[in-house]
Amino acid sequence: MKKVGIVGANGYTGSELVRLLAFHPMIELSFLYSRSNSGTKISDLYPDLATVCEMTLTDKPSQVEILFLCLPHKESQNWLSQNTVGDETLVIDLGNDFRLDGSFQNRNFIYGLPEINKKNLSGVKSIANPGCFATAIQLALLPLAEKGLLNEVYTTGITGSTGAGQSLQSTTHFTWRNDNISAYKTLTHQHVDEVLQQLNSFNDKKVGLNFIPWRGDFTRGIFTSSTVKSDLELSDIEQLYRDFYEEAPFVKVNERAIDLKQVVNTNRCVIHIEKNDNVVVIHSAIDNLLKGASGQAVQNMNIAMGWKENLGLDLKPVGF
């Protein structure tokens, strides 16, 4: 059993990690860190954890073998600078501090998208977990990028309110979200650079990504649609995707139309491809808190530790 600590356990991604790791057969939760809620039981913050975990949040971390950082963006560097973490501790950061530049102190963070980096993740001690939109968009485009078939990409994506974090904002309040949608950060979303860094490392020509994210009137999940041009037959494109994800246990290419309920509460990504003339649309759907955050972090932990990739992640989607 490996001792695990979660920094920022009071947030959505941190509490999802608690839910997942409480049933993981290879780990023992050692501490749940929170400055703002120190002394409070995690189940008092999240009543759904009442029968899962009764640990009390603390602001005094201890030494562990695996450390998850579930902090607001740009806060992970500060936390690592202010606290002692052993060189042999596996650190998995769920923020965006190390996705573009993985060098920090004596650590070199490896980008943790298992579908392209599985071999590089084995045995490492520092992992930068991908962003939620970045995960959904990359999984929709990587098979084409690998073959040098991407040029200009136009993507729309809609996300649930949990994607904005736990802190209440005007655009996450029920009275605003209910029966409402809106675009935000048009063409400037923080995940664009992350996606392009990975796509351009595969594609033999520079990719252009025009991304419009939307706020959805639901709690969790991400659905993206990416439009590209290709002269390949639809059947050839579908086969390209099946071959690319042949050894990816959490990615499924569907011939039928997909929807969010196929992935909510799972670490899965489902993909559906459509084509009209030379215009191709690749749809992808994930749970933003699982495959887009905490579930993928556990997947990365499993790979780094040499455990079965889907250990603790055999989750059923919530269909109704």
Res. 168: pLDDT tops 70:
no
Which architecture characterizes domain 132-286 according to CATH? Answer: 2-Layer Sandwich (3.30)
For the stretch 136-161, pLDDT in tens is 999 999 999 999 999 999 999 999 99
Packing angle between helix 12-21 and helix 294-305, nearest 10 degrees? 50
In this prediction, residues 244-263 reach a mean pLDDT of: 97
pLDDT for the residue 164: 66
Q: Report residue 136: phi and psi, to 5°.
A: -60, -40
pLDDT for the residue 313: 98
For the stretch 66-114, pLDDT in tens is 999 999 988 999 999 999 999 999 999 999 999 999 999 999 999 999 9
What residue ranges of the chain are covered by domains with CATH 3.30.360.10? 132-286
> Which amino acid type is present at position 242?
R
pLDDT for the residue 160: 94
Mapped to the 3 state alphabet, what secondary structure does the chain carry?
CEEEEEECCCCHHHHHHHHHHCCCCCEEEEEEECCCCCCCEHHHHCHHHCCCCCCECECCCCCCCEEEECCCCCCHHHHHHHCCCCCCCEEEECCCCCCCCCEECCEECEECCHHHHHHHHCCCCEEECCCHHHHHHHHHHHHHHHCCCCCEEEEEEEECHHHHCCCCCCCCCHHHHCCCCEECCCCCCCHHHHHHHHHHHHCCCCCEEEEEEEECCCCCCEEEEEEEECCCCHHHHHHHHHHHCCCCCCEEEECCCCCHHHCCCCCCEEEEEEEECCEEEEEEEECCCCCCCHHHHHHHHHHHHCCCCCCCCCCCCCCC
What residue ranges of the chain are covered by domains with CATH 3.40.50.720? 2-129+293-305
Domain 2-129+293-305 sits in CATH 3.30.910.20 = no
Which of 53, 70, 132, 269 is flagged as catalytic? Answer: 132
Which of 4-18, 151-165, 216-230 bottoms out in mean pLDDT, i.e. has the lowest? 151-165
Q: Is 132 a catalytic residue?
A: yes
CA 250 to chain CA centroid, nearest Å: 12
Computed over every residue of the chain, the mean pLDDT equals 95
pLDDT for the residue 318: 84
For the stretch 193-219, pLDDT in tens is 999 999 998 867 789 999 999 999 999
